[in-house]
Amino acid sequence: MDIFVNDRLVMKKQHPCGAKEMLVLRAGMDFRLRCVRCGREFLVPRLKIEKYIKQVIHQGNQGNQANQEGEPHV
């Protein structure tokens, strides 16, 4: 599963505040997530968080792979 900084994770289980989306502040062995609603931050091991992810929403626009739509004009 590919998860990057600034992605949003839709969780299967909601946070006590009612939000289901988490913003990724740091990705690696451990993930630092911030609840989009209450702003609380927490550190979760990757293996654990993957079980709770329902969907990953890619937000990052910088450093994108080139769009391969249409024909290149050279």
Spatial separation of the C-alpha atoms in residues 44 and 42, rounded to whole Å: 6
Between residues 38 and 50, which has the closer beta carbon with respect to Zn ion?
A: 38
CB of 14 to Zn ion, least distance (A): 8
Dihedral through CA 27, CA 33, CA 36, CA 39, nearest 10? -140
Between residues 34 and 69, which has the closer beta carbon with respect to Zn ion?
A: 34
CA–CA–CA angle 4, 23, 62 (5° rounding): 45
CB of 42 to Zn ion, least distance (A): 10
**How many residues contact Zn ion, by CB under 5 A?**
6
Task: Report 8-47 residues binding Zn ion (CB under 5 A).
Answer: 15, 17, 19, 35, 37-38
Contact yes or no for 24/3 (Cβ under 8 A): yes
CB of 20 to Zn ion, least distance (A): 9
